[in-house]
Structure 1
Amino acid sequence: MKSINWSAPFFPGTTDNFVSNEVYVTGVTIEAVWRNLVDSSKWPTYYDNADNIVLDDKSTTNLKFAEHFRFDTFGFPIDAQVMELVAPTDGQVARLAWHGWQNGDADTQFDVYHAFLIEKLTDGRIRILTQESQIGKPAQDLASQNPNPMLNGHQAWLDGLAQAAHKEMEAMND
């Protein structure tokens, strides 16, 4: 299994909150999953916890490497920059990761590293993994809740992403 490329301050187990979610799906292509993930305009259609998405480059809704963007999620207005973007080609694992933050004081400052891996496996299976590592008082507050809202929220994101890819494949086959 492939893993996330973490930058030093976000190593899992060293931050205030960390969540990991994955799904395995069949009946979709890795390209369909990728298209639904990198096109930020599609997020609200399958994930109800992503709103007000604005990319600095207004000529497209597709994320690209080094793209700055903003969105609201979990009640936080997040500024973000794409740190890794590797499309699925020739058996390569697709990767999307961003650093996100909310500026503020000691009680509201929030830094996250959120990454996705999409991997084509044998027998037509696709593995979709997302992990997020968070630093700051808001992250501590989220981690203290049971169940952790990030864990459930990110599972909903992956489940919605898989369903969106299935719908796209069905539309292509009609």
Structure 2
Amino acid sequence: MDQKQIDFLLYVAKCLIGTVIGFVIYRAYPEGGAWSLVSILLVISPEGKDAINLAEVRIKANLVGAGTGLLLFFLHPPALVMICLGVVIVLIICELLKLQVATRSALASVIIICIHESGKYFYQVALERAAGVILGCLIALLITYLVHYKSLISNVRERKSRVSWRRNQFRKPGDVADTETEK
């Protein structure tokens, strides 16, 4: 078997493990568990390289969307004007926080929350979604970590070296020599 086939089988295994865990959560807590299951499968990636970024983006997007939906709840019951206001607020927040990658997920989140099921408290829908997404992302990260431990550690070390390089790039030549002698 070549590396591509092994990577595919590992991806299938990670997705199945995530699905089983997510389904167990879904059976125990249907509302939040559904979002956990969806988040697990959205964050797990074939190589595991971008799992951390996917989880961060998904969590931030859903917190922006759920927070906006919750804010709108206190202003007025859901209506077309409130949903449109929610869309504008999410777009502005994502732009200000430089979360353009998360914008679509945040928009989906605010819409889902604004058109929640009747009979449920609005804030409950927002909190269940946010909690379910965070839990699902954390589970996906744990699965990815367990399967790709060595490659994730090297990615973290690579990130640290890039940050150090950027930090040293803006120092004066004498400052870099001083920090090296301190070590």
Q: Name the TM-score, length of structure 2 as normaliser.
A: 0.29
Name the structure where helix makes up a greater proportion of residues: 2
Q: Which has the larger radius of gyration?
A: 2
Name the structure where strand makes up a greater proportion of residues: 1
Q: Name the TM-score, length of structure 1 as normaliser.
A: 0.30
